[in-house]
Every structure is written in structure tokens, then in C-alpha cells.
Structure 1
């Protein structure tokens, strides 16, 4: 180990099929491509709910990092590492990576929210810089977690160049890409689609069922109860989603909150019209020229937006053109890595 190496810590396996881990994987790969030496540190998969053993293992892992080294710690673990972050803050140059605050995750009890709010604020106070994936998340950390704005650095997720989807399906093919968790609001989408059973469409829900198996089973039962088994397919995780985007006609995901929403960027990169909830950073990413945004959790509004796109080809083509135009302004993963490399150099000099 040496101080010229960047140490990148995250909980569990880097191959976990979520947007946050995808960001971590691609960032690490692109930094290495640009000549940055990166050593990964896999912490316990029990984060963000660590037990004593998980905390001890994290203490040993970070304790082995040499004095003065730069360490990026993914927020899924960092928000629960407040005591360790404070203990290591003078010895290590810590960069916190916050995809979205733990306290804002859907499904937490009020007590859990309060605990995460307090622990994450203490942890963030021990970081030299805080790396976020959107200006929206950065503003939340400033307003609600007392992080000075000058310590926040935004590095938006990149996208890969891809051929535009032809959007010529018959029936129309709806695509949703997200792990089956409560925050992604698949339940709202299923109900909305249930009210549109008289229209021709097919839907594919691509995303891991393993993060919340009980919720995934509830969603499957909801599909069955509405007799949509032949219309909605819960595909599970896929190794490469590029083909899914290329074969779709429109992208729909009514998340209750998004710290950025990488899949929306991927949908725009594929030239897909988008339907989403006006929640978190989504309005900053999806322009009105490329998508329809509805209030989060509003099944009727979501159904109305779906009905408009399913029945109006002129509107679909208009939003398709808007998505293709928006795709040109999206950053690449190389852009993201260069932004983070500049941050690393700045922290090394501090």
C-alpha cells in the first residue's frame, strides 16, 4: 500500500446489480484507464446496518491504509461509519461518495431515519470532500446535513454511446430498469398499467429481485391479482441492459426518489421517450422535450401519462426526437472520471 494509490471502499460485492454499484464499477475502471492506481476495499455486505463484526472489519481495512492516502468511501457504508470516519479523518484524506442520503431511503421507520440523519451528518463532517452524482443531492447535503457547499463536488454518471432505439414495436414495448425495491414504485406502475389493460402494450421490468425478496414477491402477486402475467414480465437482473433499451419503445419508472437516476440517462442515450415521477433529481435530468413527469405516487396521473403516449404516435415521436437531442449533452464515463481525478489531485494537495 502507498499514498499514491487511491483506495476505494464499498460494502459487499462490486458486481451488485444496482445503479450505485454500476457507478462505482465504471468510475474505478475509467480512473484506471486514465492512469490512476486504484485499490478496492470490500467491506461487509451488512452495511448500512452493520453489526459489531462488520464495524470491526471496516476498522481493520481502513486501518491498513497508509497515512495520508486518499480514500473514497461509498455512502452505503459511509453513512453508518461516523465514529470510524471521525477517528480516521486526521490520518486519511477521506472523500465521501453519496449517491443519495441513507435517511431518505423509502421504507425506513422514523427511528431509523433519525439515526441515519445523525450518523450520516457526523460522517460527512469528517470528509475532506463529498462527491455526489447530481447537484440536487449536493443541495440536499448542504441544506439538511450541514455540508458546506464548497466541499461538495458533482460528478454526474456517464453514458456509453449507443445506437438509438428504432421505437417501432407492435404492440408498444414498455421498459423499466430498476431493482425491485419500494423506492422504485413498481407497485404504482403495475396499478397504472392495470387500468390500461384494454390498450395494446407489453412491459418488461428488468432489475434484481434479491435486494428485497419479500417486496419482489408482493409485486409478482400484484401482477397475478390484476391478471397481467402475460403483459408484465419481471425479468430479473441482466448482465447487459443495452439490448433492453434498444428493443424498447418507451421507458417508464415512477421512482419515489432518485439521487440522479442513471437509467433515465441511459434511456435518453437510447433515444427513448420517458415517463417518470417528478422526484429528486429526475426533473434536472429529463427535459420536458423528452419526457412526461407526474407527481410521485400518483397512480391516476401515471396512468394518464401512459395513456397519452400509448395512444398518440405524434407525441411519442416528438419526445423521441427530444430524447435524441438530450442524449448529445450527456457526459461520458471518461468525463466523469476526469472530474473525479481532478478532485483526487485537489485532495492530495490539501
Structure 2
């Protein structure tokens, strides 16, 4: 058995035009793991999770070249879309599948994807999810033993404190504009708040679902700005100008933007799905640094936003909780440690 780690990744992992939480997670943990062990990356360019037969054959050939007994960390987007490849190599290699999002959770996903995912996860030596909620959901979805899915939550980098404005009216949503991220729900909620002072910036790719993006923008009005993809200093500046992060997702295994906001002391209004409550967490005194509403519920989201915009005491208490929560956030070193334990087990 070799101590080297082989990592199978989507081909766009380092594409600055296609940032995603999954790609960021993969790159950060592989960089960290490479500090203590040899890491060989296999980046497979294909339209995952909808690969062609040729794409699948290329993946199979790449894995056949991996030495017997090697540990192979596979991004779930690739592994779960090609279960036959995982099954074929499961006896010879030690495949570990990292699931960022169950394939069936993406709105409009092909109905056969959950079945493919189940096959891949049952063939894997170990399965890793990014939150406890996501782990338990995978176990339930795919009849995996209770407690068998490991958890390695994303880390977050330290960031400067954002003071926030007196009015609290600078709203921010950071997510690719897609049905699962539910910017349509956010826009409809904001349409009921025309009597209040606010502006909303939506940061994220606009080309993932052009028809959905067009429909959302047509309903948004002039106080909602769609800024497209931002990274690096531009994204940092956007956070620095925000009062509240709003994440209206219909499904979210963790939500790395949640902790990115909390690292700056920005409260978060999210939905009660999988890992979002875990990412928001609590301050040391038990207070929640934001709020949670049911997914897809325009009225509940509008009510929560109205409370935030009209109640100065609520804004102050949530800002205080966010600043207190900020100190207890995990770094990427903890993520790397947890994943390394799974890979060594």
C-alpha cells in the first residue's frame, strides 16, 4: 500500500471564471494535505455530473494507472456521476468520496442521478460530507449505516471586522444565480418591502441558468443589483460594504459564504436546510448571529427582512452575536486534520 494520495477533481477546479464552494474546498484541503504527504491530482475535464461515454472512459483509464492499494480522494461530482468506474476499482484501490451536494438536490437534475450516487457511495471505502446535517441526509437517502458518513466542515480565513451601517439596509446575497439558490424567492420578498430603505447586491455567476436569471432580473427592480462573479479583493470589498448576508437556498450542505460573512461580523439570514444552521451556529452565550426561515417561503423571508430593517435593537443584538461567533470559527487546518484522519483510517 502506498502513502501517496491520488485526488480526482473536476477539470475546472482552478478556473477563476467558475468559482464554487466545492472547488474552493477541494483546493484548500489538497494544498494542506500536500504539506504532509505526496498528492497526485487527476483533474478530469467533462460536463459533470453529465459525462459522455468518452469522458467516463478517460476517468477509468486515469484510475487504472493508479498503483494498487492507493487511497483515492474523489470529488463527489465526478465519482457519483460515474459509479461504474468506482465499482470497477473499489477492490484494488481505496476510494474515498467527498460529497459537496447530493446530486439530486440541484434543481432540474436528471432523475437517474440519485441512483448513480447511491452506487458510488456504496462502493466507496469511506464517504465524507461537509456538515453533520448533510452526512445524516446521505445516510438516509442511500441506506448507509447510521454514523458511517464522516464530516469535515469547511474552514474559513480570518477577515477584517465590518462595522455595518446604522440603517442595516445594505443587503448581500453571494451565490450563483440558480433555482437552488432561490434568488427568485429573495426578489419576491424584497418586492414587499418597497416602503423601507434598502439595497441588495447579488454576487454570483449569471450564466449557470440563463432563463432563470432573466426571469429573476425582470422581477427585481432597480434596488437589486446583479454584480456577477467576484473573487479576491473585489469580493472582500463587497463584504466590507454589507450589513446582512441573505442566503435563501432551497438546499445547502453547508454554505461557505455563511462563515465568510460571520468572519467579518456580518449577521446571516438563511434557510433551515441541511448545513446552514450548523454554519450559522451560536455565539458563546447561545444567541444566534442571524436568523433562519423555511426554504421557499416568501412571506417568512419578507417578515424576517422587515424585522431586521425596522428594529435597531434586533440589528445590534445580531451584530453582537456575529462578532462573538467570529472568534470561534474553525480554520482550514481543522478541516484538513479531520479529512486526513479519514484518509488514514
Match of 2:154 among 136, 147, 157: 157
Question: Which residue of the partner structure matches residue 174 of structure 1?
Answer: 171
Work out whether residues 79 and 120 of structure 1, in 8 Å CA contact, stay in contact via their aligned partners in 2: yes
Instruction: Name the CA distance, whole Å, in 2 between partners of 1:170 and 1:317.
Output: 11
Q: In 2, are the aligned partners of 1:169 and 1:248 still within 8 Å (CA)?
A: no
How far apart in 1 are the matches of 2:145 and 2:64? Answer: 27
- Does the Cα contact within 8 Å between 1:128 and 1:151 map onto a contact in 2? no
Give the 5 Å matches for 1:199-348.
199-223=196-220, 228-229=221-222, 231-240=223-232, 241-287=235-281, 289-346=288-345
Three-state SS of the structure 2 residue aligned to 1:183 is coil
TM-score where L is the length of structure 2: 0.92
Query: What is the TM-score with the length of structure 1 in the denominator?
Result: 0.91
Return the match for 2:190 from 188, 193, 199: 193
Q: Give secondary structure in 1 for the equivalent of 2:180.
A: helix
Q: Which runs of 5+ in 1 are unaligned?
A: none
Describe the superposition over 1:5-45 as per-residue Cα deviations: whole angstroms up to 9, x where unpaired: 2111122311331111111111112222x323222211133
Query: How large is the RMSD of aligned CA atoms in angstroms?
Result: 1.7
C-alpha displacement of 1:104: 2.1
Deviates more, 1:302-311 or 1:236-245: 236-245
**Paired position in structure 1 for 2:284:** none
Cross-structure match for 1:84: 85
- The whole-number CA distance in structure 2 between the counterparts of 1:199 and 1:268 is 25
- How far off its partner does 1:49 sit? 0.9
1:218 is displaced (CA, Å) by 2.2
The 2-side partners of 1:93 and 1:211 are apart by 34
What does 1:39-118 correspond to in 2, within 5 Å?
39-108=40-109, 112-113=110-111, 115-118=112-115
Q: Residues 100 and 130 of structure 2 are in contact (CA less than 8 Å); yes or no, is this contact kept in structure 1?
A: yes
Match of 1:13 in 2: 12
Task: Name the residue aligned to 2:129.
Answer: 132
Question: 3-state SS of the aligned residue for 1:252?
Answer: strand
Distance 1:298 1:150, change over 3 A: closer
Regions of 4+ moved over 3 Å: none
Indicate if the aligned counterparts of 1:69 and 1:92 stay in contact, CA closer than 8 A: yes
Q: CA deviation at 1:170?
A: 5.7
